[in-house]
Each structure stands twice: as C-alpha cells, then as structure tokens.
Amino acid sequence: MKRRTFILNTSLSGIGLSAMSTFPFLSSNLKPFNMSFEPVTIATWNFPNASQKAGEMLAAGASALDAVEQGVMVEEANLKNTTVGKGGRPDRDGNVTLDACIMDPGGNAGAVAYLKNNTHAVAVARKVMEETPHVMLVGDGADRFAQQMGFKKEELLTDDSKADYLKWLEKKEYKPLINIENHDTIGMLCIDSKGDISGACTTSGLSYKMNGRVGDSPIIGSGLFLDNEVGGAVATGMGEAIMKNVSSFLVVELMRQGKPPQESCEIAIKRIIAGSPNHKDFQAAVIAVNKKGEVGSYCIQEGFSYMKYHGGKNVNFSSDFYL
C-alpha cells in the first residue's frame, strides 16, 4: 500500500457512512473501506421516467455509468420527445441527426455527432469510449462504427415528426423557441453508492437546424463535463451559446475552486449572458452536482426545470432563472 493511501485509510477508519461527504476530495482508490454513499441522479427538464430508471438502478447497486446510460436511453426511445432519439425533429432537409456523449468516473469520454440510423446515440458513444482509441466519431464514420458494433439500422423519422416537418416546410421559418417547445435534450448525472460519478447528454439538436449543424450536447466540456474528484455539470438550450462559453467545464472548474453547485451554475449562465446581447431570445441552462451530492441549477429564462432522484424520491424542481 502506498504511504498516502495507508495514512488516509488509517485516519478515516471508523468514520464509515459519512466519510464521503466529509472528504469529498478523495479519489476512488483513496476511499476508506466500507464506505457507501446515498446515490443521486439529476437530469435536465421534466423526464421522470428517465431519472426513475437511473435512480432505481443505482439503488439496486448499479454503477453510475450503467445507470446514466440506461436512464437517458428512456428518453431516446420516447417517440413523444421531439428533441431526443427516435421521433426527434429533423434538420431543414428532413434528416434526423443525433448528437450524444458520455463520461465515466475515470475521466474517459465518448461521443457521436450527426448519427443518422440509431435511436440510442448514447450507447454508440459509450462504445466509442470503450472500444476505440478516440473520443468522438461523426457522420458516416459514426454510422458505420455503430453497425460494426452490432447496432441495427433504424429509421429515426416517425410519422409524427414527418408530418411536423412537412408543415414546417410550408413556411420554412427558422426561429428557435425558448423553452420546452424546442428544447428537450436530456443531460443526466449519476453518483453511485461508491460515490463515483458519470454523466451523459443526448439530443437530436435544434429542430430544423442547418444540415450538418452540431450543437453543444456531444462536446465534452460544453454539453457535459465531470471530474470524479469534484462533481459534474450538464447543459441544455442554445448550443451555440453554450459551446462558445464551454459552460459545463466552467461549472466544474468553479466547483473545483470550492464554490457550491448553485453559485457555479449562476456564474456560468451569467457568463453567457454577458457575452450575448440577444440573450433574451434564447434559453440556456446548466445543472450540476458535487461529490457531496449538493445540486445546483440556473438558466436564462423562466420555464426550465430538472429532475432529482434521491432516497427513493423522484422530484421535479423549477430552476432559478435570470430574467
């Protein structure tokens, strides 16, 4: 045993259950024996089935990585969700293209962008993380890789999303709406009973975007960032603003400096606002959790909410907002 590990294990023995919240800075390999943590799941918007799935998996002992993947997959498969997975609205040329990413407690990351033929973009992103030397695959390469990994080709445009698209074509007006009407991306963070954190973010992006457009959701640091020593953050809303400010990374770095998740989220959103004279016209939101399980959330416009599953309770909270 290394000397530092020995000292920590010795000095923490007997502290037991609350050791993680007392010593949130401990990395997995420095945690004392017999320590457990009450798992936490948080997720953007009001998707109770997704947070319930992840929360129940964590309660049954699943890893944060498995729980976060399965949790967001609930929304990818939800045909009523018009901004995630199958049933997501297409770009202006009628193509449904998905963006997703995932991170594990080791700081490993996988992402796909402009994925055209598979509902579960997050599962393909996980394969990129685990089966390739790369972090991100896009377009045809991502599609080919998914098929090589055994994912079956699917049609992502549904009868409903096709009907909406045909209606949109009548006017071809491109105006991102502010809240849920056009933003249902799911970003999720899970902390498991070992105190380890994982995160995922998955979307079909802005409805009727330009062909080829990729937003913040699959970009590590923008749509999602985490550090197992500190905590994690996920973002939703206008991807261009979030990317320009690398908002999820910023939130985690602020928490690293000791700021609580709520203050960290507020600073990150105010950074976007300060650089965007048109911020009244769009939504941007971040949620965050630190290693003590404390949660924060902030956004520009009223109307954003997030789910939290903790201690068997699955609750939707309205976010604080700027305007």
The nearest distance, CB 45 to ligand SD4, in angstroms, is 7
Catalytic residue (one of 119, 185, 203, 236) = 185
SS3 of residue 33 by DSSP:
coil
Annotated catalytic, 185?
yes
Cβ-Cβ contacts under 8 Å for 190 (sequence gap 6 or more): 39, 40, 41, 54, 58, 64, 67, 68, 71, 197, 198, 199
**Which tokens is 68 given?**
């976060």
Residue ranges of the alpha helices (H) in 85-217? 121-131, 139-148, 159-171
Segment interacting with ligand SD4 (CB under 6 A) among 22-30, 46-54, 61-69, 213-221: 213-221
User: Which segment (3-11, 212-220, 225-233, 269-277) binds ligand SD4 by CB under 6 A?
Assistant: 212-220
d(CA 286, CA 306): 10
Site residues for ligand SD4, window 42-61 (CB under 6 A)? none
CB of 288 to ligand SD4, least distance (A): 16
Among 63, 203, 276, 301, binds ligand SD4 (CB under 6 A): 203
Name the 3-class secondary structure at 257: coil
Smaller CB separation from ligand SD4, 45 or 151: 45
* Residues with Cβ within 8 Å of residue 141, at least 6 apart in sequence: none
> CA nearest 155: which of 137, 164, 170, 143?
143
Of 211, 212, 217, 255, nearest to 45 (Cα)?
Answer: 217
Number of residues that bind ligand SD4 (CB under 6 A): 14
Distance, in Å, from the CA atom of 52 to the CA atom of 125, rounded to the nearest integer, reads: 22
Nearer to ligand SD4, 185 or 248 (CB): 185
Q: How far is the CB of 268 from ligand SD4 (least distance, A)?
A: 14
Per the CB < 8 A criterion, the answer to whether 68 and 82 are in contact is no
Q: Measured between alpha carbons, how far is 89 from 256 in angstroms, rounded to an integer? A: 37
CB 82 to ligand SD4: min, Å: 10
91 binds ligand SD4 (CB under 6 A): no
Binding mask 238-267 for ligand SD4 (x = CB under 6 A): xx----------------------------
Per CB under 6 A, does 216 bind ligand SD4?
A: yes
Q: Is residue 185 at the binding interface for ligand SD4, with CB under 6 A as the rule?
A: yes
Q: Does 83 bind ligand SD4 (CB under 6 A)?
A: yes
Q: How far is the CB of 184 from ligand SD4 (least distance, A)?
A: 5
**Which helix (H) or strand (E) is 312 found in, with range?**
none
Q: Which one of residues 24, 71, 215, 296 is an interface residue with ligand SD4 (CB under 6 A)? A: 215
Closest approach of ligand SD4 to the CB of residue 235, in Å: 7
* H-run or E-run covering 267: helix 261-274
Q: Would you say 320 and 57 are in contact if contact means Cβ atoms under 8 Å apart?
A: no
Q: Which stretch, 6-14, 159-167, 200-208, 295-303, contacts ligand SD4 (CB under 6 A)?
A: 200-208
Of 68-76, 135-143, 211-219, 269-277: span binding ligand SD4 (CB under 6 A): 211-219
Sheet with 98-103, strands from edge to edge, namely 136-138, 109-115, 98-103, 197-203, 186-191, 40-44, 305-310, 313-318
Q: Does 217 bind ligand SD4 (CB under 6 A)?
A: yes
Q: Which of 206, 219, 220, 226 binds ligand SD4 (CB under 6 A)?
A: 206
CB of 215 to ligand SD4, least distance (A): 2
Residues with catalytic roles: 185
